[in-house]
Amino acid sequence: MPSSNLPERDLSDLEIELAANSMRRNIITMLEKSKSGHPGGSLSSADIVATLFFSGAMKYNHNNPEDHTQDRFFLSKGHVAPVVYAAYYLLGWLHDDDMMTLRQLGSRLQGHPDNHACPGFEVCSGSLGQGLSVAAGCALGLKLTSLETGERSPKVFVLLGDGELQEGSNWEALMFAAHHKLDNLIALVDFNNLQIDGHVTDVCSLGDLGEKLRAFGWNVIRINGHDVLEVRKALLAARDGKEAGNTAPTAIICTTVKGKGVSFMEDKVNWHGVAPSEAQAEQAREELDAARELLLIQAESTKEAADV
């Protein structure tokens, strides 16, 4: 196992922003090399995934991706696997060579994650609408085990897309989770309002998603999914901040921009599932490098560590 590219501690908000920037850059390079994949949703969820993995809100063994004894993470929108691969690379779970093999035959980095090939994943995913059901089942199993042992149940986090919430199976899972009082289940919705055919509001609107989730018995937190501080606070509130007697699962609706961080990809439906050309990838990296320089200047001015 390669060594981690991160400090051995929870990162500050600014360091998480730098980690997300590195993840976005690696996403672009992976997709350029593979000549296929999904940049839009991978980029929109980078701040969410970086904060989840590097803030301390999710408890897991940083040194062993095959240790599934603590909190669990499920990627329901499996087509954005590159954002998770990029996080795993920073953790040292993937090698430099791995990052250049996305979507290639025999690679550990398939277009949709294969838990038999890539360390760290709980299940294969990518058939949209299934991830929340699997996560809810896991949360129930962990909760039942905790009742037997008397120990606190690990948390189960699942990342969903807004477009996939058009799938009916998700609403069955939402009812199931509320009925079984799965307060150890936390759903993160990457709400970028774009899916393969256009804006979610035009294809099949979710309406007031927050009110619908509340009607299904869930706690709901709405945040800016690109504000690391907001994401951190929401995760901690969902994890530990419930009042006594509140046994509902929690949904964190993260408002995001598809293709975030790359100007010509932002809020453009045609970047849902198209890889950048060499010239486009170079432009994207230049923009991300410029954003990184600004973050480093900010880090220097505040004397924060910036070795991500």
Tell me, yes or no, if the pTM score tops 0.85.
yes
What pLDDT shows up at residue 308? Answer: 59
Q: At the topology level of CATH, where does 24-307 sit?
A: Rossmann fold (3.40.50)
For the stretch 85-133, pLDDT in tens is 999 999 999 999 999 999 999 999 999 999 999 999 999 998 899 999 9
For the stretch 224-282, pLDDT in tens is 999 999 999 999 999 988 877 899 999 999 999 999 999 999 999 999 999 999 999 99
Identify the band that residue 306 occupies on the pLDDT scale cut at 50, 70 and 90: very low
Domain positions in the chain are: 24-307
Q: What angle do CA 79, 41, 127 make, to 5 degrees?
A: 30
Exposure string over 286-301, b if 16+ CB within 10 A, otherwise e: ebbeebbeebeeebee
Distance separating alpha carbons of residues 230 and 244, to the nearest angstrom: 23
Identify the band that residue 299 occupies on the pLDDT scale cut at 50, 70 and 90: confident
